[in-house]
């Protein structure tokens, strides 16, 4: 069987599935239950400095976006960092690490962007025996207004500076948690690397308002008639997270920088996709909050079976496998040709493919009087919309066709429309243009 043991920046854990810094990791009781359920590690909910206590709202803290059958696909939260006393958290972290020495224990930290504040908190965290720290440079609400969280993560110079302090005043591995609320994720990743970070983790939550109550006209969740922006997470953010992980993994300046993948991971397949795009391990929150801690057992068994079926024996065999295939648009093969194909034996004649193509695409699907749907190859541009809207799995597929060959179904020659397209040497954008091979 595949060995799921994880060794992420020297931090070992039974598997690559960690709980992200969030409500599920706020206290000893939860973390012990998580380890017993099978999680390989946890990132303890973000600790702040000693001083005036953090005061959270005593009303609804979450908003939601639902899919079909009330499936939770997006979660918005307005909760702050831990509101429990620092010393209490430290005692509990030490006790859990003592009893679970083989599980990863990472402590998330957020203190003011001042050298003395970081210098003060690092040794007391190190004394707990924690395996590493995660710098929370991503929280978009509440703490950002106080000059912390995303307010730091949006300024590369601050990221580099604080990371350097942490490497100077602590022997623990340093993971920098990045905010997605930025134009180019590569810039903060490069800053973390310059500061000496051992790894980055991403993404933190996305700044958001999920809904507005149209009776009270206040954003939800609503506190005494008012609402506020919060942090968005859950399955809906996965595409954004995957892209940002890939951007760092394929960036020459950050090549080799270890990545802990976060964002909408709900099952083993999601985790494997993050790993294929460069993540050495993954962190999960919303799925655990939705289904409970035991969801990790599906992740473990699913990933193990997937690896066994493909002859993989260890996690590093997955990590980064998809990175060489993630390209910029102008690098795609414009000579590639495909056409849609409808399996008439599977078709239920619902007409969704026809409606989508006829109204919003290229009028490439015809409908006969007896509701038989047929692809008109001359009009089909292989946009794939019909495949996506069809309710029957595998009923419609995209069939590759070689340029210059005869389509047996139509008797027409399939030509490569972009056979002479290339990147003009004088075009700094890298855009494709129709240039003959012998043209200057």
The predicted-structure confidence for 190-206, as pLDDT tens digits, reads as follows 999 999 999 999 999 88
pLDDT at 425: 52
pLDDT at 334: 85
Alpha helices in 217-366 (DSSP H): 238-249, 268-276, 286-291, 295-309, 352-360
Tokens of 29: 């009781």
Distance CA 295, CA 405 (A): 50
Distance CA 216, CA 60 (A): 15
Three-class DSSP category at 10: coil
For tokens 């001083």, name the residue.
51
DSSP code for 3: B
Alpha helices in 61-176 (DSSP H): 86-99, 115-126, 150-153, 156-169
Residues 6+ apart with CB under 8 A from 312: 2, 306, 318
Q: Which of 139, 166, 357, 390 is catalytic?
A: 139
CA angle 91, 94, 26 (to 5 degrees): 65
How many Å separate Cα 245 from the centre of its chain? 7
For 152, list phi and psi in degrees, rounded to 5: -85, -45
Verify whether residue 166 is a known catalytic residue: no
CA atoms within 13 A on the CB side of 216: 13
Distance CA 305, CA 298 (A): 10
pLDDT at 80: 76
pLDDT at 415: 62
pLDDT beneath 70: ranges in the chain: 140-149, 404-440
Domains and CATH numbers, the chain: 6-325 (3.20.20.70), 329-434 (3.30.70.20)
Phi-psi region of 191 (alpha: psi -120 to 50; beta: other; left: phi over 0): alpha
Enter the pTM of the model.
Answer: 0.89
From the number of C-beta atoms within 10 Å of its C-beta (0-12, 13-18, 19+), residue 228 rates as middle
User: For 348-405, how does the pLDDT look when each residue is reduced to its tens digit (9 = 90+)?
Assistant: 999 999 999 999 999 999 999 999 999 999 999 999 999 999 999 999 999 998 776 6
Strand partners, 338: 400
How many Å separate Cα 436 from the centre of its chain? 42
């Amino acid at each position: 069987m595949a060995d799921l043991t994880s060794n992420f920046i020297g931090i070992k854990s039974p598997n690559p599935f960690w709980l992200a810094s969030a409500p599920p990791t706020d206290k000893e009781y939860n973390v012990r239950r998580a380890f017993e359920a099978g999680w390989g590690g946890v990132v303890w909910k973000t600790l702040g400095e000693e001083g005036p206590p953090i005061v959270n709202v005593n009303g609804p803290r979450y908003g939601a976006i639902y899919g079909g059958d009330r499936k939770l696909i997006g979660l918005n939260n307005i909760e702050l960092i831990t509101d429990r006393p620092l010393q209490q958290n430290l005692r509990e972290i030490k006790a859990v690490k003592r009893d679970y020495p083989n599980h990863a224990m990472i402590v998330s930290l957020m203190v003011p962007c001042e050298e003395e504040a970081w210098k003060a908190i690092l040794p007391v965290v190190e004394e707990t025996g924690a395996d590493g720290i995660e710098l929370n440079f991503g929280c978009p609400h509440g703490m950002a207004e106080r000059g912390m969280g995303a307010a730091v993560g949006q300024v590369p110079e601050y990221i580099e500076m604080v990371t350097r302090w942490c490497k100077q005043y602590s022997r623990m591995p340093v993971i920098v948690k990045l905010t997605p609320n930025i134009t180019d994720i590569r810039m903060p990743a490069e800053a973390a690397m310059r500061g000496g970070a051992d790894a980055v983790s991403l993404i933190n939550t996305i700044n958001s308002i999920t809904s507005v109550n149209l009776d009270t006209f206040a954003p939800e969740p609503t506190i005494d008639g008012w609402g506020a922006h919060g942090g968005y997470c859950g399955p809906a953010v996965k595409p954004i997270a995957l892209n940002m992980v890939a951007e760092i993994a394929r960036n020459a300046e950050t090549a080799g920088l270890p990545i802990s993948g976060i964002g909408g991971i709900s099952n083993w397949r999601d985790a494997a996709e993050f790993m294929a795009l460069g993540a050495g391990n993954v962190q999960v929150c919303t799925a655990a909050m939705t289904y409970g801690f035991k969801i990790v057992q599906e992740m473990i068994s699913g990933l193990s079976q997937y690896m066994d079926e493909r002859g993989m024996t260890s996690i590093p065999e997955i990590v980064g496998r998809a990175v060489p295939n993630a390209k910029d648009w102008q690098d795609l093969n414009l000579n590639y040709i495909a056409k849609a194909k409808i399996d008439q034996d599977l078709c239920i004649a619902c007409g969704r493919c026809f409606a989508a193509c006829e109204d919003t695409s290229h009028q490439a699907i015809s409908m006969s009087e007896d509701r038989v749907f047929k692809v008109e190859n001359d009009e089909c541009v292989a946009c794939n919309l019909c495949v996506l809207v069809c309710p029957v799995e595998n009923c419609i597929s995209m069939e590759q066709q070689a340029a210059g060959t005869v389509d047996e179904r139509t008797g027409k020659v399939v030509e490569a429309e972009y056979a002479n397209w290339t990147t003009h040497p004088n075009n700094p954008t890298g855009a494709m243009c129709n240039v003959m091979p012998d043209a200057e």
